[in-house]
A and B are shown apart, each in its own frame.
Chain A
Amino acid sequence: AQKITQTQPGMFVQEKEAVTLDCTYDTSDQSYGLFWYKQPSSGEMIFLIYQGSYDEQNATEGRYSLNFQKARKSANLVISASQLGDSAMYFCAISREEKQAGTALIFGKGTTLSVSS
């Protein structure tokens, strides 16, 4: 079975600072994908970034980067230059890689990020 652990229930950061949200995972699959989603107070799930288990380079998407350490089974999200609009709940998730039909995402409990001015 796959499992995601997010140990930081809440994180506080000031505007323009960088912040790292921790995520460790457990899986027996050789091929898998790691995701980060943002959920603002309005409730929608916003996709941020994806890392495939065989990707050699860390994924980046604008101010978001994923620090992927396969041997340590960690996939931390780094947000550079935090903005007030980054205040939200952040979820790490894992899925199997199955090209035909896709598979469900298994989510962690989430980390609440609060950005202050």
Chain B
Amino acid sequence: DSGVTQTPKHLITATGQRVTLRCSPRSGDLSVYWYQQSLDQGLQFLIQYYNGEERAKGNILERFSAQQFPDLHSELNLSSLELGDSALYFCASSIRDSYGYTFGSGTRLTVV
């Protein structure tokens, strides 16, 4: 167990729907990162939160949004889902600098 908890592990939903992926970072970690892994795009950084504030944005679509709550858990919201959004979504956390990175086990999203 890496200490980073992602739920659910698997999610199957229809096109046009909206889903929420949840991430609880390792205890004490202030930064949360979201990544998308798909066959055609590889592992892509989506967004980072640090202590409740958005810190950095990567290749995140406008249909996607995220937030980090006061207890430091984070949620990634994906709306108007398309077939191409099917992917493995990872959350990672770090206490401060990048060396302490820890990944969760991921949420596998299938859009049908």
Binds A, one of B40-48, B61-69, B71-79: B40-48
Give A55-96 as 1s and 0s: 1 = Cβ < 8 Å from B's Cβ atoms. Answer: 000000000000000000000000000000000000100011
Contact indicator B55/A101 (Cβ below 8 Å): yes
| Residue of A50, A101, A108 touching B99 (CB-CB under 8 A) | A50
Complexed CA–CA distance, A50 and B99 (Å):
7
**Category for how many chain B residues contact A:** 20 to 34
Chain A residues contacting B99 (CB-CB under 8 Å) are 33, 50, 52
B100 on the A face (CB < 8 A): yes
| Residue of B30, B58, B98 touching A33 (CB-CB under 8 A) | B98
Smallest Cβ-Cβ distance to A110: which chain B residue: B42
Chain A residues contacting B106 (CB-CB under 8 Å) are 43-45
| Residue of A45, A50, A101 touching B103 (CB-CB under 8 A) | A45
- How far does the Cβ of B82 sit from chain A's closest Cβ, in whole Å? 22
Chain A residues contacting B108 (CB-CB under 8 Å) are 43
Pair count A-B, CB < 8 A: 71
- How far does the Cβ of A10 sit from chain B's closest Cβ, in whole Å? 15
Assuming A97-B97, A109-B42, is B31 touching A102 (CB within 8 A)? yes
Contact indicator A43/B105 (Cβ below 8 Å): yes
B83 on the A face (CB < 8 A): no
Contact indicator A104/B58 (Cβ below 8 Å): yes
Chain A residues contacting B97 (CB-CB under 8 Å) are 97-100, 102
- How far does the Cβ of A19 sit from chain B's closest Cβ, in whole Å? 22
Give 10 A-B pairs besides A33-B98, A45-B92 with Cβ atoms closer than 8 angstroms. A44-B105, A45-B106, A97-B97, A97-B98, A98-B97, A102-B31, A102-B50, A104-B33, A105-B101, A107-B43
Q: Which B residues fall within an 8 A CB radius of A?
A: 2, 30-31, 33, 42-45, 48, 50-51, 55-56, 58, 88, 90, 92, 94, 96-103, 105-106, 108
Q: Which A residues fall within an 8 A CB radius of B?
A: 33, 35, 37, 43-45, 47, 50, 52, 91, 95-110
The 8 closest A-B CB pairs, nearest first, are A45-B103, A104-B45, A107-B43, A95-B98, A101-B50, A102-B94, A102-B31, A102-B98
